[in-house]
Structure 1
Amino acid sequence: MRRYTTLLLTAFLLLAIVIAGSAYLAGSGHIDHRTKTPELTVLTTLPAEEAEILSDAYEENSGVRVNFVPLSSAEALERMQAQAENAHQTKAAMVLADWQTLGKASQSGCLEPYVSERGDMVPEAFRQQDGYWMGVWYDPVVFCINRDYLKTLRADIPDTWQALSEQDARIGITDFMAADASANLFYAMTAEFGEEKTMDIFEKIHPHVVQYARYLSNPVRQAGMGEVDISIAVESETLRYIHDGYPLQIIYPTDGTTAWITGTAILQNDGEREKAMAKNFADWLLSDEAQLALQSHNYFFVPTNPGTLAYKSFAGKNLVLFTQLPQFSEQQRHDLLDKWAREVRFK
């Protein structure tokens, strides 16, 4: 896996050298008259460090400065709604956020449709068909297994959710009530397998859980340190630890898994120049250059654009994703988590 990561980064660096002489056409927009640098304001639910990496890389690539406004999902939705209702408010041109926030924004009428040639390559599973939001990368949930433990299994390797629930192993997992990406797994499995089977799986897993972690990285660290044998984890954190030399291996569930999707959307905005800049930035986020910027800082996500070298290089690009979307209301989500807490977590 370390060899695969090194080869991937090398390929990207070669690609960057080849295209370095080509300036990306970012269009015109707001100009900072002190620096004469075009500026683009983007709302985001990404961590500030990720946003800064993308901003620096895009400015170097295009000459446009991206001013990210980090917000929670609720804050982003409130800001988008206020902007759509107030023509005199300072305008953001775009949002880069998780798919759930983008879905709610499209329902509230805050977005404008946009589909480009590059975006049209993205599979329908990662975008809204009417063009109101477009996924740029995703982070699947995987089984993260300690290699020393893997050697003891020989041929009996758990590669389905049912097999994992029947495995006599120490298991790490992030508490469903502590992180949205972890809760999304529970909702997605319920939509795919049904409530009864999903509850049965986690009832069987529960006695083997060493600790319900609060953060997505902790189960991966536990597996890497040998504190657990197998962790249910997001792939990006697993690859980060593998890149740092931890003895881990990824197993992709053959009966399917879910993924946390990050995507873009164009906000309602009267400024045509700002919208043009936003569309160019949205297209750039679907490129190898964006993935190179993230991976050079140990952020490993699966691109939604199958035309990129980054997509072709990921070992898990053909993983099986659930076919049923977790379309539960807020009350239904609350009730499902409450039932899991009562009948599994704190029983």
Structure 2
Amino acid sequence: MDRLPALLDLLRGVPGATIAELAEQLGVTERTVRRDLDRAREAGVELAVRRGRGGGVRLVRDANLLALRFTEDEALALALALGAVGADPELAAVATSARLRLARVLSERFGERVAALAEVPPEEPVSLLGSDRVRAETLLELCVAVARRRRVELAYRSGSGAVTRRPVDPYQVLRMAGHWYLVGFCRLRGGMRVFRVDRVNTVRHTDIAVVLPEGFTAATAADLVAAGVRSWAADPLRCEFVLGLEPDQARALAPAYRLELTPHPDGAAGLILAQPEHLPQIARWLLGLDAAVRVLGPDALRDELSRLAARAATLAARPAPQASGPAADPTSGGAGQPAAAGAAGRSR
């Protein structure tokens, strides 16, 4: 790990820190700190070093962090992005560090606003690295390979735990359903494959150029991943229905990895592969659609819809009207008796 950013952060936070203090904070020798200070100077960082008793190192000017110029919209986008990243427990610390570093180099006005807005808590915790704790280094290496259009060699672990070495032409990295995926052509299997990034043990770059298949786009990759996610359910129920919407309108109703759509004479035919415990959620989703829906199966889905309909009817039922009788005399017994007693009590 490069120590230079950590060293500069220490100098910003503790002006005049001694070589010994810096070495202790970084967990390295004083000789290593002196080498890192030389590297900082070579990178354009201006340092003031005072030797002897009471001396230390002070950061005069950091050429790597010149004042940045952002519009208000850009500053807002930065703050929101840092806030979103900070919602991931795995990235909260680095997001905080990045926010503080940006706030220092922005103008005073924007820096204060970015720092303040980034402190706003998110609606709920998220996992940007996926539910399987993808290693950031692995994810970034795959993204670089895709950008460079160069083949990689992966040590890939299957679901059963077996590890194989695979030459892969990387086409697209994307996140879906809480996981990160790599879509590419596997030279070992001789076909297009979808790889879970959390199962990639190592990535080795090569200089072999990669050419995207004709017509391949990010949407193509998303469709491949979605089809894979749908097919990985164990013994799923086929929840089938027809929506009175055009397919492009129906596509906006749910993510592709949950809802498969095909054209139908009456609109769009929908298919969701689900486990029995998901039927209540699917039934509620169908009831909430602002479109005509015809359920084709299974019967278990119809039963769940009938149960919800019965509950809705019970909740919507009006109470039976109470029988009306002659008005009671407040001075006589019965219901009027407490009122009379109250009146007598007030007269005493």
> Which category describes the TM-score, using the shorter chain as reference length?
under 0.3
Which has the larger share of strand?
2
Larger RCO: 1 or 2 (CA < 8 Å, sep 6+): 1
Which one has the largest radius of gyration?
2
Return the TM-score normalized by structure 1.
0.27
